[in-house]
Amino acid sequence: MTAPTTPTSPVTPPTLTPVPALGRGETHDGFFLWGAPKAGKSGFIGALYGLSRGDDAERWTAHPKDCDDPHTQEQVLRAHEELSERRNTKTGVRDTAYRPLRLTLRKMKVGRQVGELRVALVDPAGEFSVDPAHRLSSAGRNLYRQVATSHGVLWLFEATPDGRASTLDRLLILEQLVALLEAGGSPQLDLPIAICLSKIDCLSEERRRAALANPTQALLDHLGATSLTWFEAVCPTLRCFAVSSAGVVPDKVRPLGLNDVLDWLEEQRTRRLRAARAVAVKGRALGLVKQWSAAIAKGTMIVGLLAGAAYAGATIMRRIKASGWPPSASADTTIGPVTTADASPTRPRRATDLPTTPPAARKTTPPTATAPRPRESAGDVTRNGARTPAFDIRAEQDSMRAAFEEGLAVQRDGESGRQWFRRAYVHASRVIERGTAGSRKYTPERLIRARSCVLGQLDCGRRAVSEDLTWVLVFGDDRERRTAVRLLERLGA
């Protein structure tokens, strides 16, 4: 007899149908929990059940009976029990796709349901976010493709307890964002992304209250201005939160900040559904317009053909009448025999025997002299203008380097060199703008442009300099990366 399975029993992986990898142009319907190991991803799943046991008048709930399948129900119960005991079973690394946990979240207000949100949560191993070897593997590339085309991401960063140094590697954040952009094939991630400072229960009460009151400032202090700028540049739909899945009540699960996250996700889901419906309605309207336009064009063509045929027929008839049809007797026409009074036929007369009248003189009009037709293509250079000289990228690069080196030499002599750095900036911008957007080929030009802005104190904008240094940190060599790091430190990022 098989023993019943409880949340504390060892779990034997069930036989599941593998989730197929995404094909070209396909999207993933899941909502991904993303972050480093021990960032609190699995705890978030257990906290959903803990919300239903809270005493807030308005809150979200997720009961095991709202799970779509036994697998999801088992995982929710297990995550909640581990969270209440303040322990966690690590999510393992696998080569196959992670199975989504499908359940329905219900928003309650004074004991009455006022909202609903169906989600498919995916909890991949944290190694895919921090380990380049896993990220570059076949499973990692498929996973990043799924994340980039999903319905949203909950990106968790573990809060640093009081008195401890942060171990956050900002370069890893940049590498993940670039990998997601490459996987999605778009210049930005078109999906809602919630950045969460997790495990705020480890902070002091003062810092915890401050994080809940102003999550953006808390994440700015934790990630740094440059890292948050990268998120803002890549993710147009972005919101910052501070959360704690376990809460601060001992031996109980009383989450903090999760209701705000789910409210925002519901808002984004509603907005995107409305946008999709509007696009569908617009598409149907355009289809009807095209059908009616084709019918009208066909009818207009037929009417035009009929009118043209009628006009041509009328013109032909007018010309026939003007030419004197039917024709009169010609010179070779024989007039029939004439019967005399005695009924004896006389010799038939020919038309040449009849008296003729001299034909009227034909009026001729002298040809009118017409002005010569002007030549439209006589090689008039004043009309076409001068040709634009061809763009010489090597000349631009040589000028860029020469101007930058001259600016450095002038600075070593005690002057600002601003004029030379401005020239180097202009030449570098010309080279970059002529190339493909986001091309890795022009990483040296991006570095020179950023250095020119910083050293020459040009009015380039902090965000533009950070974007250039972003590509240098990802695609540059070791020397270029070290230079970029020094520039970021000089900017105070």
43, 245 in Cβ contact below 8 A? yes
Domain that holds residue 196: 31-278
How confident is the model over 244-266, as pLDDT tens digits?
A: 999 998 888 999 999 999 999 99
Confidence at residue 29, expressed as pLDDT on a 0 to 100 scale = 67
Per the domain annotation, does 292 fall within a domain?
A: no
CATH of the domain at 107: 3.40.50.300
Per the domain annotation, does 301 fall within a domain?
A: no
pTM above 0.75, yes or no: no
Give the count of beta carbons closer than 10 Å to the beta carbon of residue 169.
Answer: 11
131, 136, 141, 146 alpha-carbon torsion, rounded to 10° = 20
Residue 431, Cα to own-chain centre: how many angstroms?
Answer: 25
Candidates 359, 266, 340; CA nearest to 60 is 266
Confidence at residue 7, expressed as pLDDT on a 0 to 100 scale = 36
Q: Is the pLDDT of residue 36 over 90?
A: yes
Per the domain annotation, does 265 fall within a domain?
A: yes
Q: Which two tokens stand for residue 104?
A: 């329905």
| Of 278, 308, 325, the domain-final residue | 278
Per the domain annotation, does 334 fall within a domain?
A: no
Domain count, the chain: 2
Confidence at residue 420, expressed as pLDDT on a 0 to 100 scale = 95
Per the domain annotation, does 339 fall within a domain?
A: no
Per the domain annotation, does 246 fall within a domain?
A: yes
Q: Which two tokens stand for residue 197?
A: 């400072």
How confident is the model over 182-206, as pLDDT tens digits?
A: 898 888 898 999 999 999 999 999 9
Confidence at residue 210, expressed as pLDDT on a 0 to 100 scale = 95
159, 200 in Cβ contact below 8 A? yes
Mean per-residue pLDDT over the chain, rounded: 79
CA distances in angstroms from 251 to 50, 82, 254, 301, listed in the order given: 12, 11, 10, 81
3-class state of residue 109 by DSSP: strand
408 and 270, same domain (yes or no): no
- In this prediction, residues 11-16 reach a mean pLDDT of 39
Candidates 170, 195, 179, 190; CA nearest to 237 is 190
What is the DSSP annotation of 327-357?
P---TTPBPPP-B-TT-PBPPPPBGGGS---
**Distance from C-alpha of 268 to C-alpha of 154, rounded to nearest angstrom:** 13
Q: Is the pLDDT of residue 134 over 50?
A: yes
Q: Is the pLDDT of residue 387 over 70?
A: no
Q: What is the DSSP letter of 123?
A: -
Find all residues with CB under 8 Å of 96, minimum gap 6, and list them. Answer: 18, 19, 139
**Distance from C-alpha of 129 to C-alpha of 41, rounded to nearest angstrom:** 12
Find all residues with CB under 8 Å of 191, minimum gap 6, and list them. Answer: 148, 149, 150, 151, 152, 153, 237
Q: Which residues pair with 60 in a beta bridge?
A: 107
